Structure formats: structure tokens, C-alpha cells
């Protein structure tokens, strides 16, 4: 019996030693699934998908993945790390899919080993949330004032330019603090694309992109970081996703659109902004819409996958499950949009999304018929 116990203990010691060696080879004991994939193609489990990217649609995606799991058993581990991070992980093939609120640009495309397709999954709005508890009325902002605030040229809330578009509102002399994203972000891309369209000063001094050199302000990671700065700083203003702002009871402004109307961001005003033709590759901007009732800082959010899905040790079974999930997301999954303050995809966006999904191949052959 003593000999048997010694053999068991010896076996445990060898197993622990082997585990420690594996952990060491993977770079330490804090390795996550997405970091430690032996073949760098996402999860090796055919019934588990790994995704990463945009924080913008995270509440909706979490709901969709949960509901889909109930009926299919498919598990989705989605990391809300920002669009830039999602694109990086897709590029390195450590996830099965990425998610972004901005189409990939030429520089990002150049880092890919193969073409990536963009499937529109939802639409939402970027809102201007502010911390002015003494102001009971909803503030109005126009393109000129908004650009000057984020350029650091309007420094106090009682500035005459803000007062001019908010008659009768008692504005405090509080200093304005800008809160912006510190990470690569599709939300930033939507916001700066809008500012570039409506302000020549912004276009020449800052420009657009998922990450820019901010003239002023405090950086925060994700919607959570920007929202935290706004909540904790009297006089702060920052841009965050509509659903996140509503779910966290944050105050946000009305914004004047191209038609001259001050629009409250909502499902209806985002849907109005998205009522446009969608190109075959689905890469389109909804900012500064011509729609008279459209909210001007609206945007699509995309799921990103490789067009050819046979790479690493990916199986046809796993790839088929992923495509069926995405197909469900752009059809039946849209029913969860409204309650979470996202705009359901337009019929045109769904049609384009279906066509893109049917173009995805495994060993050169289409997967979905």
C-alpha cells in the first residue's frame, strides 16, 4: 500500500511539473485562452468561438450570444477590448472573429495574410455625455461648437457660443474637461469622421481615425473609461455609445444635423440615418446624414472574419457553426436590438450581409448555400 501511495504521489508531482513547464512556455501563469492558443486560430474546441473587438456593440452581442447558446449550445467568449484590439487579434489569428465599428483601413489590410470580409451586425449612435448636474435642460450642441470644444478653443460651459444655441438655460462658468478614448476605437473613428466632415479646422489639425492625437483632454480605455471620467469630473464631456449611456443613466446632448434640426439620439433617429444604400462590401459611413430626422453621429458595427476559413487546424464543422451564428445575428438576433437601444439593421444591410456570408469559403468552396 505504501509503495502504491508513493507511485501516486510521484505521478502527481510529474503532472504538476509538466503543467508548470507548459505555463512557463506560454509566458507566465496569467495566460488567457486567446493568448495561449497552440495553433493561433482561436479556440480548438469546435463548440466554442473566441471573438474580440468593439465595445460599442458589446451589450447587444452579449445578449445575442447568450440567447443563441440556449438553443444551440454554442459558446462564444467575446472580449470587449476596442475595435483596434479586435483587428490586431484577428490579424494574428488568435480569435475566430473580430468586431469593429470602423472598416479596416489600408494600413490594417496590409498586415493581413489573407482578405477579411465585413458583415454589418448592428447600428448605433455616438452621443455626447456631459456632467453638469446644475443644468436641468438637455443641452443643445451644433457642429461648430462641438468641434471647438474638442479642439480646446471653447474652455468654459458659459461660453457665448454655447449660450447662443441654448437660450434661457443658465450655464455655469465651469471649466470644460474633455474625455476621449485612449485605445484604438471604432467609436473614435465614427466621432472623428463626423468632426472631419463638419469642421475644416478639425480636419486640418486633427483628422479622423480609430486613434488620433487629441489636442486636449483625458484618455480612458473603452466606453467604460470615458464614462468613468465624465461621471467623476464636474464639467466633463465625452463621447460614448448610446446604449452604454442609457444603461448607465448618463446625460447626453441633442445635436444639430445637416438639415438644421436638433436631434435626440434614439433608435428612430439612428434608423433614419441608416436609411441609405449599402455598398456590396458594406463599408459605409452614416455620419453627417442628409436625413432631416437622422442623428448625425450614427454608425454601423461589423463582424470581421477571413474570407477563406481553412487555416490553422480549423474544421469545417466549427466554421459552419460560426457562419450560422453570424447569419442568425443579422436576422433573428436583431429582435434584441430595440430593448438595448440599438437600431435594427436595415433590409439593405441584411441583404448585403447575407451575400457576404455566402461568399465565405472553406478550401475554396462556399460554406453557406
The model's pLDDT over 170-199, given as tens digits with 9 standing for 90+, comes to 999 999 999 999 988 888 999 999 999 999
Find the DSSP H helices in the chain: 2-25, 33-36, 58-72, 83-91, 106-110, 143-151, 160-164, 186-198, 200-205, 222-232, 242-247, 267-273, 316-330, 347-359
Which residues lie closer than 8 Å to 120 by C-beta, 6 or more apart? Answer: 278, 282, 300, 301, 302, 330, 345, 349, 352, 353
Comparing CA positions, the residue from 144, 122, 334, 63 lying closest to residue 242 is 122
- Rounded distance, CA 174 to CA 90, Å? 43
| DSSP state at residue 44 | S
Sign of CA dihedral 93, 107, 285, 79: positive
Comparing CA positions, the residue from 320, 297, 301, 300 lying closest to residue 310 is 320
Taking phi first (over 0 means left), then psi (-120 to 50 degrees means alpha), and beta for anything else, what does residue 37 get?
beta
Low-confidence ranges of the chain (pLDDT < 70): 1-44
Comparing CA positions, the residue from 269, 272, 237 lying closest to residue 146 is 237
C-alpha cell at 293: 430626422
Q: Count other Cβ atoms within 10 Å, centred on residue 260.
A: 8
Fold of 40-124+299-366: D-Maltodextrin-Binding Protein; domain 2 (3.40.190)
pLDDT score at 30: 31
pLDDT score at 275: 82
Comparing CA positions, the residue from 102, 146, 144, 155 lying closest to residue 127 is 146
pLDDT score at 363: 97
C-alpha cell at 155: 474652455
Domain residue spans of the chain = 40-124+299-366, 125-275+284-297
pLDDT score at 253: 98
Superfamily of domain covering 125-275+284-297: Periplasmic binding protein-like II (3.40.190.10)
- Rounded distance, CA 254 to CA 262, Å? 6
270-304 as b/e: b if 16+ CB within 10 A: bbbbbebebeeebebbbbbbebeebbbbbbbbbbb
Torsion of CA 158, 160, 161, 162, to 10 degrees: 30
Q: Provide the percentage of residues in the chain whose pLDDT is more than 70.
A: 88
pLDDT score at 43: 61
Q: What are phi and psi of 43, to 5 degrees?
A: -70, 140
pLDDT score at 244: 87
- H or E stretch at 178: strand 177-181
| DSSP state at residue 336 | G
- Rounded distance, CA 179 to CA 222, Å? 11
pLDDT score at 247: 85
Amino acid at each position: 500500500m505504501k509503495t502504491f501511495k508513493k507511485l501516486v504521489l510521484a505521478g502527481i508531482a510529474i503532472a504538476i511539473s509538466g503543467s508548470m513547464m507548459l505555463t512557463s512556455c506560454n509566458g507566465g501563469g496569467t495566460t488567457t485562452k486567446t493568448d495561449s492558443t497552440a495553433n493561433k486560430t482561436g479556440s480548438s474546441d469546435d463548440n466554442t468561438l473566441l471573438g474580440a473587438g468593439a465595445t460599442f456593440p458589446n451589450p447587444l452581442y452579449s445578449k445575442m450570444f447568450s440567447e443563441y447558446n440556449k438553443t444551440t449550445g454554442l459558446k462564444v467568449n467575446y472580449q470587449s477590448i476596442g475595435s483596434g484590439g479586435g483587428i490586431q487579434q484577428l490579424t494574428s489569428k488568435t480569435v475566430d472573429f473580430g468586431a469593429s465599428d470602423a472598416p479596416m483601413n489600408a494600413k490594417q489590410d496590409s498586415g493581413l495574410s489573407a482578405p477579411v470580409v465585413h458583415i454589418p451586425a448592428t447600428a448605433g449612435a455616438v452621443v455626447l455625455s456631459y456632467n453638469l448636474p446644475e443644468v436641468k435642460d438637455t443641452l443643445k450642441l451644433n457642429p461648430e461648437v462641438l468641434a471647438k470644444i474638442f479642439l480646446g478653443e471653447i474652455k468654459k460651459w458659459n461660453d457665448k457660443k454655447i449660450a447662443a444655441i441654448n437660450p434661457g438655460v443658465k450655464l455655469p462658468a465651469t471649466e470644460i474637461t474633455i474625455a476621449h478614448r485612449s485605445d484604438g476605437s471604432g467609436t473614435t473613428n465614427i466621432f472623428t469622421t463626423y468632426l472631419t466632415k463638419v469642421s475644416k479646422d478639425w480636419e486640418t489639425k486633427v483628422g479622423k481615425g480609430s486613434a488620433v492625437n487629441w489636442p486636449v483632454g483625458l484618455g480612458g480605455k473603452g466606453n467604460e473609461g470615458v464614462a468613468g471620467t465624465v461621471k467623476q469630473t464636474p464639467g466633463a464631456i465625452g463621447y460614448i455609445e448610446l446604449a452604454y449611456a442609457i444603461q448607465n443613466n448618463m446625460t447626453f446632448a441633442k445635436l444639430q444635423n445637416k438639415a438644421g434640426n436638433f436631434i435626440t439620439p434614439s433608435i428612430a433617429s439612428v434608423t433614419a440615418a441608416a436609411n441609405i444604400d449599402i455598398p456590396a462590401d458594406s463599408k459605409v459611413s452614416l455620419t453627417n446624414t442628409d436625413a432631416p430626422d437622422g442623428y448625425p453621429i450614427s454608425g454601423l458595427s461589423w463582424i470581421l472574419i477571413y474570407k477563406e476559413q481553412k487555416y490553422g487546424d480549423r474544421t469545417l464543422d466549427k466554421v459552419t457553426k460560426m457562419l450560422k451564428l453570424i447569419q442568425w445575428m443579422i436576422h433573428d438576433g436583431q429582435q434584441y436590438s430595440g430593448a438595448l437601444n440599438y437600431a435594427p439593421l436595415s433590409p439593405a444591410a441584411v441583404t448585403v450581409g447575407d451575400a457576404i456570408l455566402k461568399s465565405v469559403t472553406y478550401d475554396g468552396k462556399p460554406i453557406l448555400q
